[in-house]
Amino acid sequence: MTAGKSPPEYYVMIRDLPAAERPRERLRNYGPSYLSNAELLAIILRTGTSSESVLSLSARLLSQFGGLAGLAKASYDELQRIHGFGEAKTSQLKAAFELGRRLLSLQENERVTIHSPQDVANLLQGEMAFLDQEHLRVVLLNTRNQVLAIPEVYRGNVNSAVVRAGEVFRDAVRSNAPAVIVVHNHPSGDPTPSEEDVRVTEQLVEAGRLLDIEVLDHLVVAQNGFISLKEKGPGFES
């Protein structure tokens, strides 16, 4: 952690947060869909360690394993090797993922529906905000704005010289997805879009028109929040 900077919110102990901002209270007041992945994991794990809050532990897990999909694939032994994990936490996590898998096998048509940029942030900010380099992911949506998949396309610098429309839209074309939302992170902690972010957005919006795939938004997520370029305007004016 850089000297002189305040620790990110996830490092604050749950007991030190205002009651209304604690994960269990937020779930009770707003419903589970309002919570980030890190917050939902924190509720399952219940406690952190003497030096790390359960929110910090949850965010670290998501970052270390590359998101929920990677965490779900982690073996029992891999989870046991994580600092702060014992048999109880490992069993809780494996049981939660198994329940999720069983539910999906019974209700294959049940998918997360995106209504707003906040919904996308809830899905991805908790895990992407703490990555130490830029990642670009694409949320594939069906005609009802339900999430089909969230493939990762780039890891490293996300700029117009590197990003290729063919790679960004490859999975959307294969899945016959009519719309996508692009998401990338700023490791600096500041979600303010750069000029390069705007250029990438313009490039992808135009390519999407040619492919008949609508780019609904481009979100920049970071430790200090997220910004929707669609709401702000850059890259979507034309």
pLDDT in tens, 20-72: 567 788 888 878 877 888 889 888 988 888 778 888 888 889 988 888 888 88
C-alpha angle with apex 130: 67 to 47, nearest 5 degrees? 75
How far is residue 136's CA from residue 24's CA, in Å, rounded to a whole number? 30
Pair 201, 229: CB distance under 8 Å: yes
- Kindly give the pairing relationship between strand 135-141 and strand 152-155: antiparallel
Coil, strand or helix at 95: helix
Structure tokens at 230: 């669609």
- At a CB cut-off of 8 Å and minimum separation 6, what does 158 contact? 134, 135, 136, 184, 196, 197, 200
Q: Who has greater pLDDT, 4 or 71?
A: 71
Coil, strand or helix at 190: coil
At 104, which helix (H) or strand (E)? helix 87-106
Coil, strand or helix at 164: coil
How far is residue 100's CA from residue 95's CA, in Å, rounded to a whole number? 9
Pair 11, 19: CB distance under 8 Å: no
Pair 76, 90: CB distance under 8 Å: yes
Q: Which domains does the chain have, with CATH numbers?
A: 9-106 (1.10.150.20), 117-232 (3.40.140.10)
Pair 93, 6: CB distance under 8 Å: no
At 206, which helix (H) or strand (E)? helix 195-211
- At a CB cut-off of 8 Å and minimum separation 6, what does 66 contact? 127, 152
- Kindly give the pairing relationship between strand 179-185 and strand 135-141: antiparallel
Per-residue pLDDT reduced to its tens digit, 98-147: 887 666 554 545 678 899 999 999 888 888 888 888 999 999 999 999 88
How far is residue 226's CA from residue 189's CA, in Å, rounded to a whole number? 10
Percentage of the chain beyond pLDDT 70 is 85
pLDDT score recorded for residue 2: 38
Residue in the structure block whose two tokens are 């939902």: 40
Task: Say yes or no to pLDDT of 183 above 90.
Answer: yes
pLDDT band at 6 (very low <50, low <70, confident <90, very high): very low
